[in-house]
Amino acid sequence: MFGTYDIPVEFQEDEISISLHRDQDLLIYHRDCLGDACDKRMFSKAEKILMIPIEPVTQPKAITPYLFIKLDKTLLLEPESTARIYVTFPLEIGVFASHGGNPQFIDGFTLTKKKFTLYGEPSMGRICRYWASGVHTTIPDIDGLREGIMEINIQNTDTDWVEVKKAVFNAYGMKIFYGQGMVSMKSTVKLRPGGMAETSFESSPIKEGATKSVEKYALKRISVATGKFVMEHGL
Amino acid sequence: MIHNKVIYGNVTVIDLIVALIILVVSIGVAKALVLYTRRLLKEKVDKGQLEVFAKVLYYAIIVTAVLVVLPLLGVKPSGLLVAGGVVGLAIGFASQSIIGNLISGIFLIIERPIKMGQSVNIEGTVGIVEDIRIMSTTLRTFEGLYVRVPNQKVFTSNITNYVANVARRVDYTIGIPYTAEAEEAISLIKRLIEAEPFALKNPEPVVYVDNLGDNSVNIIVRFWSPVSEWFSIKTKMLWRMKKVLEEEGIEIPFPQRVLWFANELKGSVKVDPASWRDTSASGRERSY
């Protein structure tokens, strides 16, 4: 479903239906997803729309830029070692109007369960979008409308064994790619002494040939953000 | 020459003009610098911190300019210290509350128990912090009233900041009838919490039978929510729980009392089941 569509658009797949048509200068947009509807009227000369994956932290409301992935199995890493695993992440779909310069965000939705959690303590912690995932050593089979695949390269820089049960990522650094049969991200988790870790993203897809999605949480919007996240409340 | 004309002491017209120019230029520079700083740091620094920094910067430039200008006007700062000591003592006694507010304002700015835009309760006054000034703090109550609280009072009062932490707990006590299955009610409530996105997964929600009350089995429900969503979730979830429980045949009971009469009542009451209806205190209508 991901890609560019010429207006007028009539789209129907799974439990998603989208329509966009022009009435003189007005663009009339309607979307329905699992009973949740969105109607918008736009004065725009846009001729195309993009339906692409966006950072999975905006639904039902963008209250946090953090994504918390709970691993279903605890990982144990020996001192100064590396490991590569694959996990899933929730897909959120963004609709953008395209006319010349930057695409304009119109709407976002998801077919996945929406849930938030707290990482750390109520006083100093972070609210995060919650997702539970299995741990895989090869690219798993997924439902392409609901899940994406994240490759995590874990580096244990500690001189001791480290246990990992979760990972928290910052949407301001996410580089999402679509195409080649999947939506994917590549990330790095550097485990540091003292039960801490630093998570970040790489600007490359898991499979070559995939297209980079639009960054809704672009770094330029807040120059102080680095896109990295330091997990200081446990692994 | 007029510019060499002595006005008083050694102060000439030219000294006075230079002093005035320095003061005017300093005020201009201070305002420009504050404006520039605000623009530069607008997206990088917290709004409250930026305002404090801007105020400190502005007054620092003005005070420096005054200290530079004083010798030109024939006033020695060292002399001011002696005179200032005596005068300060007199002013201090006369204006204790003003100085108290000023010092409290400085400590409030440093300690920062409250920030602009936060929902707080300052000794019974509940509202959103509109501004923290050097002498007073202004609140906008939820009814839309403007309340000015002197900083000394803010500093010495108990302050409850409702949004200082990122998450806040929602607490309910829900009564179910003695005839209902508590496990079933707990399971229904837990399912409802799990389905609500803003009821946080961690800290884990807690639902348990707390006590056996006079009229009901009381179930305690506790879960956490992002502080920004707390109020809407708290108001929404209780009604949802009531509806779900009632849909499953678990009615929220109302107070009941069984009366036993020591002596048998004289007289009799005849009830016609077809026409007699009783409306209880709860508003529920029952037919007999």
Q: How is chain B split into domains, by residue range?
A: 2-94, 113-161, 167-247
pLDDT of residue B281: 42
Query: Could you identify the residue written with the tokens 């799990």?
Result: B194
Cβ distance B44 to A114 less than 8 Å, yes or no, reads no
Q: From the list A61, A114, A118, which residue is nearest B202 (CB)?
A: A118
Measured distance CA(B14)–CA(B16) in Å, rounded: 5
Closest Cα in chain B, distance from residue A58 (Å): 12
Are B27 and B58 in contact, with CB atoms under 8 Å apart? Answer: no
pLDDT band at B273 (very low <50, low <70, confident <90, very high): low
Measured distance CA(A31)–CA(A38) in Å, rounded: 5
Residues from chain A contacting residue B226 (CB–CB below 8 Å): 63-64, 116, 127
User: Angle at CA B235, nearest 5°, toward B182 and B227?
Assistant: 105
- Beta-bridged to residue B211, according to DSSP, are B218
Cβ distance B201 to A130 less than 8 Å, yes or no, reads yes
Closest Cα in chain A, distance from residue B225 (Å): 8
Are the folds of B2-94 and B167-247 the same? no
Please say if the pLDDT value at position B277 is more than 60: no
Domain range enclosing A117: 3-231
pLDDT band at B2 (very low <50, low <70, confident <90, very high): low
* Cα maximum dimension of chain B: 121
- Pairing of the two strands B119-122 and B159-161: antiparallel
- Pairing of the two strands A126-133 and A116-119: antiparallel
- State which fold the B2-94 domain adopts: Helix Hairpins (1.10.287)
Measured distance CA(A48)–CA(A124) in Å, rounded: 44
Over residues B221-238, mean pLDDT: 94
Closest Cα in chain A, distance from residue B192 (Å): 12
Closest Cα in chain A, distance from residue B203 (Å): 7
Measured distance CA(A44)–CA(A25) in Å, rounded: 7
Residues from chain B contacting residue A125 (CB–CB below 8 Å): 166-167
Over residues B253-280, mean pLDDT: 68
Specify the CATH number of the domain B167-247.
3.30.70.100
Closest Cα in chain A, distance from residue B41 (Å): 10
SS3 content of chain A, % helix, strand, coil (to 5): 5, 55, 40
- CB pairs below 8 Å between A and B: how many? 48
CA A128 to chain centre: 12
- For residue A8, whether the previous peptide bond is cis, meaning omega lies within 30 degrees of 0, is yes
Q: H or E stretch including A152?
A: strand A147-156
Q: From the list B165, B202, B226, which residue is nearest A63 (CB)?
A: B226
With CA atoms as reference, report the closest residue to A130 among A138, A122, A118, A121: A118
Q: From the list B43, B197, B228, which residue is nearest A114 (CB)?
A: B197
Report CA torsion sign: A229, A230, A234, A235: positive
Per-residue model confidence as pLDDT tens digits over B4-26: 777 777 788 888 888 889 999 99
Per-residue model confidence as pLDDT tens digits over B100-154: 777 877 777 777 788 888 899 998 889 999 888 778 889 999 999 999 998 888 8
Q: H or E stretch including B243?
A: helix B230-247
Please say if the pLDDT value at position B284 is more than 50: no
Alpha-carbon distance values, A231 to A190, A192, A200, A227 (Å): 10, 10, 11, 13
Q: From the list A115, A116, A123, which residue is nearest B165 (CB)?
A: A123
User: Angle at CA A204, nearest 5°, toward A201 and A207?
Assistant: 125
CA A229 to chain centre: 15
Locate all alpha helices (DSSP H) within B45-170, ordered by sequence.
Answer: 47-72, 77-94, 96-111, 151-156
* Cα maximum dimension of chain A: 67
Which of A109, A110, A117 should be substituted to probe chain B, the one whose Cβ sees the most B Cβ atoms within 10 Å? A117
pTM of full prediction above 0.80: no
What's the structural domain count of chain A? 1
Amino acid at A129: R
Q: Structure tokens of A37?
A: 């509807």
- State which fold the B113-161 domain adopts: SH3 type barrels. (2.30.30)
Q: Structure tokens of B123?
A: 């000794």
pLDDT band at B275 (very low <50, low <70, confident <90, very high): low
- Beta-bridged to residue A133, according to DSSP, are A71
**A173: burial class by Cβ within 10 Å (0-12, 13-18, 19+)?**
buried
Q: Structure tokens of B94?
A: 């006369």
The number of CA neighbours under 13 Å toward the Cβ of B282 is: 9
A56-67 as b/e, with b when 16 or more CB fall inside 10 Å?
bbbbeeebbbbb
Please say if the pLDDT value at position B85 is more than 80: no
Please say if the pLDDT value at position B1 is more than 50: yes
With CA atoms as reference, report the closest residue to B107 among B55, B154, B71, B53: B154
pLDDT of residue B239: 94
Over residues B228-234, mean pLDDT: 93
Measured distance CA(B121)–CA(B157) in Å, rounded: 10
Q: From the list A60, A115, A118, which residue is nearest B167 (CB)?
A: A118
Q: What is the DSSP string of A93-151?
A: EEEEEESSSSPEEEEEE-SSPP-EEEES-TTT-EEEEEEEE--BSSPPP--TTTEEEEE
Residue of B nearest to A123 (CA): B165
Measured distance CA(B151)–CA(B157) in Å, rounded: 10
Q: H or E stretch including B230?
A: helix B230-247
Query: Digits of tens for pLDDT over chain A (235 positions)?
Result: 888 888 888 888 888 999 998 888 888 999 998 888 999 998 888 888 899 999 999 999 999 999 999 999 999 999 989 999 999 999 999 999 888 777 889 999 999 999 999 999 998 899 999 999 999 999 999 888 899 999 999 999 988 999 999 999 999 889 999 987 899 999 999 998 888 999 999 999 998 888 999 888 875 544 555 678 888 787 8
pLDDT of residue B223: 96
Q: H or E stretch including B30?
A: helix B13-41
Cβ distance B164 to A123 less than 8 Å, yes or no, reads yes
pLDDT of residue B286: 45
Average pLDDT, chain B: 83
